Chains A and B, each alone.
Chain A
């Protein structure tokens, strides 16, 4: 079975970390990544940019583009894509191709990306 592991924390807290603390956290994550990679169990890994870089498309094809993250609590995270686009404009166009009746698509640039290995 393939699983995703989603990381949550307070952004205000994380941006208040010292560089040293941030490096330490990332190093700890890297240890886990290497361990799983060796076992052939690591897929793509991403650290997202802060929510201030996010843009949200609400409601399907005629989507309204809103600055900022998807902040509602009545919907749940159901899935995600990773796309390689030259600009935000292109990413928005890519997202427009998917229907999200009543839902939303949040577009957030990726800060750190490890494509991972072939899964056994």
Chain B
């Protein structure tokens, strides 16, 4: 009955709550991690014999806490707890104790745990690594592989991040409303960053790193379960689900990039799309728009189109205009230009992106879009220059290969002297 797969899933799903509670008791990440690890080891010994506890998180919190208290020799100062051999048989004691210990704090505990990982004193790449280690429980080896660095380098990165956090003194009192909102914003940004790291890998050969995307979705869902009525958290979760739903269609058998227009929409994950759309629906009812909701709404427009030509580009263009107003950035303008090119044609779009040349001088997608627009206008020579600049800035082998495909096509077109119209507009920066 208590098979290993069950135990594995139980330990994984209980981890954030258990780690968060242990962190509150011990106010030290390393102690909390050790306590949790010890509790997991004991679970692996006890659960197959005694059967699964009714509340795995509560069991792990109590056993972990007992262990760490023993370790720190502070037992005498604490409320006595039942010896942990008894705990898994005493469902009621366990649940009651766990509730007394936790129910009032659970939400802020988990938020604090997540927030500690994305403390502003810690650089973004370290934030993600730390969250994957501490909250998701990925091994250093797994994280190192995901970031394409050596295990020892990743170990160092995580240790350094922990040291920074220890000296940052994150308060352990229940946060006020303003502070809670700030924490929520920081955590959402970290989850978004984690997802993007997987969605559009910033290096290496793989264009998508699915485990990072899946982990980001798990964290977003966790956050949403805690803050059910926050429209931006609804929006964030919806956005990640809708983007990830296209994963299987975004890369071909050779690992090459397939842009939105050319994707086999039959490969899109309909279940993730349905869940994402349901969350967008919920978020919009609040009439408190924010950047994640708008991006999710854009992804939803794509998801609604059965064929590329069914896409409501003017709706997308309007949504990008809203996003531009909420969160002005040259990248958002670039994306809006892509939508504009579909509605009003390439020359209007080209004029729009001209002022972006300076701020996006180092941005791969800028030159990809510029090249595609120039190609559509039949300005092959200028398009070639743009594509070459894109290749120089490509983040992954797949990105470079994709641009080379455009160049090959340009070449072929000039050989056969065919018109520019023969090249279809494949210029979306969103894939």
A interface residues with partner B (beta carbon < 8 Å): 10-13, 15-17, 21, 49-53, 55, 65-68, 87-89, 109, 111-112
Contact = CB atoms under 8 A, between A and B. Distances in A.
Contact of B281 (A10, A88, A111): A88
Interface of B is mostly: helix
Interface in B1-56: 5, 9-10, 12-14
Nearest to A56: B228
Contact of A68 (B9, B222, B229, B278): B229
A15 B13 contact: yes
Given A12-B222, A16-B13, 20 more contacts: A13-B9, A13-B13, A15-B13, A15-B218, A16-B10, A16-B218, A21-B5, A49-B275, A51-B225, A52-B228, A52-B279, A53-B279, A53-B282, A66-B229, A67-B229, A87-B281, A89-B281, A89-B285, A109-B274, A109-B275
Contact of A88 (B218, B275, B278): B278
Contacts of A11: 225
Contacts of B271: 111-112
Nearest to B5: A21
B13 A52 contact: no
Nearest to B220: A52
Contact of B275 (A12, A21, A87, A111): A111
A67 B233 CA distance: 12
B258 interface: no
Which of under 10, 10 to 19, 20 to 34, or 35 or more describes the interface residues of B?
20 to 34
Contacts of A89: 281, 285
A65 B149 CA distance: 48
A55 B228 CA distance: 9
Interface of A is mostly: mixed
Given A12-B13, A16-B12, A88-B285, A49 B5 contact: no
Interface string B242-285: 00000000000000000000000000000100110011011001
Nearest to A89: B285
Contacts of A53: 275, 278-279, 282
Interface in B132-190: none
A87 B279 CA distance: 11
Contacts of A17: 9
Contacts of A10: 13
Nearest to B223: A52
B224 interface: yes
Contacts of A67: 228-229, 234, 282
A85 B269 CA distance: 22
Contacts of A88: 278, 281-282, 285
Given A52-B279, A89-B285, A21 B9 contact: yes
B237 interface: yes
Contacts of B13: 10, 12-13, 15-16
A50 to B, nearest CB: 7
Contact of B274 (A15, A21, A111): A111
**Closest 5 CB pairs between A and B?**
A68-B228, A67-B229, A16-B13, A12-B13, A88-B281
B373 to A, nearest CB: 36
B65 to A, nearest CB: 20
Given A55-B282, A87-B281, A50 B9 contact: no
